[in-house]
Structure 1
């Protein structure tokens, strides 16, 4: 039910970031991708978009994708169906009001996902639920730059989706790890694309 990668022969990889936009760390991540020439997907929290609208607009203006990460970051499996709908709807509304776009992708907070949530996400909103290959990197827990890199670098492979966090706490380790990883990806000939671009490339090869 959750997509961690796609099958493709193209040397493309999708870096993704959760829990922003954050005034301290999102700009640093955006600067890194501007320097390397890649794109990423930012799964943004609706109320954070409302609090930092200029960062959401900057991400979009620089070619990145914004995905839905709910409005307040609850575990959706703890909510009623109506509450799940409300979380997703308000987040989408806040993002649209700030950026003018309709979001097309979704990542569940805490990866809290079940059949009920899946039905709402796919049937009502039409979102693919996006996971990641490098779950053991656990950058959210600040395990050290070396740990984040070590548990991500093996997943720099065609069609992989990688998860990091640009909000909710000190993300300086993430910034440095991502700096190293995107240079490794570029040196290996990988293009960094958004999740939607990755899905479109895969669809073209079916």
Structure 2
């Protein structure tokens, strides 16, 4: 299993993803931005934040977005004993199933760091492991709105998976950048789909 960063497709689609939520401010702002263009996204949520903000999980689900597993406490799984790593994944898997009404289909390891043990755990849960093309936009470091936008533009093509953050700290730069990018891509004829929808397109093609 390799980490999926994009999908080859003739369709003009991108999958925007958000890590580290849910957050009662930024996640809801993302929902508003996407709602204006009837876009869908995938939110890779952390269990501890889901427990704090169940109403945000509900809003994400109600608007038809996808929820992916980003572990329970955002620890680097490769630094944990096998059982502890398993528990990090398992707890959030169960939480998503009960709060969103369906198990997650996609997983993103914290820090995009994984090893053979994590790969086999993903297989066991039936997950696809999801990366992204625009990791050099480094929105989590708050490098400036223009920087995030430009570095992301460089990686936009049919089937791109794009990574942003809606949790842990001040995410106002990310929100501004996403607002600009969604508007731009929408006017260029791109449709915003969930990661699972993107993977289905690949199968259909």
Question: TM-score if structure 2 supplies the norm length?
Answer: 0.98
Q: Secondary structure at the match of 1:17?
A: strand
Aligned-partner Cα distance in 2 for 1:183–1:129: 28
Instruction: Structure 1: give runs of 5+ residues left out of the alignment.
Output: none
Q: Does 1:50 align with 2:47?
A: no
Q: Corresponding residue for 2:163?
A: 163
Instruction: Say if 1:47 and 1:94, in contact at 8 Å, map to a contact too.
Output: no
Question: Displacement, 1:96?
Answer: 2.1
Question: Displacement, 1:15?
Answer: 0.2
Q: Corresponding residue for 1:60?
A: 61
Residue correspondences, number:
204
Q: Does 1:9 align with 2:10?
A: yes
Q: Does 1:108 align with 2:116?
A: no
Q: Corresponding residue for 2:144?
A: 144
Q: Corresponding residue for 1:19?
A: 20
Runs of 4+ more than 4 Å apart: none
Instruction: Structure 2: give runs of 5+ residues left out of the alignment.
Output: none
Question: Displacement, 1:166?
Answer: 0.1
Aligned-partner Cα distance in 1 for 2:95–2:79: 23
Question: TM-score if structure 1 supplies the norm length?
Answer: 0.97
Aligned-partner Cα distance in 2 for 1:103–1:150: 31
Question: Displacement, 1:154?
Answer: 2.0
Task: Give the CA RMSD over aligned residues.
Answer: 0.8
Q: Corresponding residue for 2:204?
A: 204
Encode CA deviations 1:149-186: one digit per residue, 9 max, x unaligned: 00001222101000000000000000000000011111
Encode CA deviations 1:129-150: one digit per residue, 9 max, x unaligned: 1000001000000000000000
Q: Secondary structure at the match of 1:113?
A: coil
Q: Corresponding residue for 1:185?
A: 185
